Amino acid sequence: MPQSLQITAAAPDPAMLDLPWHIALEDWPAENLAALPRGISRHVVRFVKLSGRVIAVKEIGESVAHREYQLLRDLMKLDVPSVVPVGVITGRSTPEGEPLNSVLITQHLKFSLPYRALFSRYLAPDTATRLIDALAVLLVRLHLTGFYWGDVSLSNTLFRRDAGEFAAYLVDAETGDLHDTLTKGQREYDLEIARVNIIGELMDLAAGELLVDDVDTIVVGEMIVSRYQELWDQLTGLEEFGADDRWRVADRIRRLNELGYDVGELQMTTDIDGTTVQIQPKVVDAGHHHRRLMRLTGLDVEENQARRLLNDMDTYQAATDQQNEEEEFVAHEWLSDVFEPTIRQIPRNLRGKLEPAEIFHEVLEHRWFMAQEAGHDVPMAEVVPHYIETVLRHRPDEEAILGLDTATLRALGEDV
């Protein structure tokens, strides 16, 4: 006899009831599915169309589904880059009464791609190192919040473009655990898991001829350790200097801000005679540039994108001789006179190629190259149309790769 369906969700969508939960996920009909590239997963995962949006559905055991759902909710409250949980559905069964696994539902992260799809698009040779940089930043942020991942890998991460770099988002929290703080041993074990998994994933890419020939998979994979340790030391390391070098306090804060972090508190101590000062950040929050841009313009973008847009805003302030003007007024003027007109020039049918902030970043890059070639500044009125025709029009859509056939998705290196 069929069981009764149970939905756990903060804001359940009634349309969920119309999906074929009585069918095993791997057998769901094509009309319910969105053709998006998927990463490698130990579970059956499908992207599903629901109320004009796309959700990710993963079949998993009931207790694990509820635990991961709660962990993702906790990470969302901590403002850690991760997929947004939608709900858990239990009590599934076939019309004949055969029980089916529970499912965890998350929102599809727009403009994101799994690492295999990125390599299948023949990106720059340094793509691997840039992805590892992004993963190192994510892992440090997770560890600062007290989250032990337990299965760090490129496969369990989604990547979004971030002003020429990448921003990493946690996808799979199944093996994770949240603590008040992590021990050094917990952090190092997570890092060792990351190193081993990444080397294996890069070897898999090399075997599939998706890496350029001169990439040393072991050397690149081991970079996660050095990049992580460098960033961790920058954010948490103890610094010692002479009492006459107090300017180094402000310099430490500036360096942390440049890394995209705000310092809520500093712990400073001196030796007995006051000749030596020690400084250590006590509270470090990520998203410094993101928050400043959001406050000034309302634009919600990635951290590097925010830094790039703020730099252009500062350039605009100087070019219009408004150095003494309130930055809120300058930001409003820059938004209405520079950013929004640029984005409005992008044809509607091309706006799914990249996020608006990434398009603006690429336009700025394109303007610089055009100016280098011309030997003088080039007005945006010339730059944007040239960028659209020579660059953007030839890019694949990254908002959603809908309507691709099975063969095309297999060509992207995905498990279909």
pLDDT, tens digit (0-9, with 9 covering 90-100), for 52-78: 888 999 999 999 999 999 999 999 999
Q: What is the DSSP letter of 318?
A: H
| Beta strands 112-113; 147-148: pairing state | unpaired
234-279 confidence digits (pLDDT tens): 888 888 877 777 677 778 878 888 787 777 666 778 777 767 777 7
Strand-pair partners of 53: 50
- Cβ atoms of residues 166 and 152 within 8 Å: no
Classify domain 6-108 by CATH architecture.
2-Layer Sandwich (3.30)
Residues 106, 55: Cα–Cα separation, whole Å = 6
Classify domain 113-236 by CATH architecture.
Orthogonal Bundle (1.10)
Q: Among 304-318, 335-349, 371-385, 394-408, which stretch is predicted with the lowest mean pLDDT?
A: 394-408
Angle at 249 between CA 134 and CA 165, to 5 degrees: 15
149 membership: H or E segment, kind and range: none
Phi/psi at 242 (nearest 5 deg)?
-70, 155
- pTM (2 d.p.): 0.79
**Residue the block writes with tokens 């712990």:** 267
**Residue the block writes with tokens 């970043």:** 361
Res 409 pLDDT > 90: no
- Cβ atoms of residues 261 and 141 within 8 Å: no
- 365-389 burial, b if ≥16 CB within 10 A, otherwise e? ebbeebeeeeeeebeeeebbeebbe
Distance from the first to the final alpha carbon of the chain: 32
Question: Where do the structural domains in the chain lie, given as residue ranges?
Answer: 6-108, 113-236, 239-286, 302-394
Residues 55, 174: Cα–Cα separation, whole Å = 18
pLDDT confidence tier of residue 283, bands split at 50, 70 and 90: low
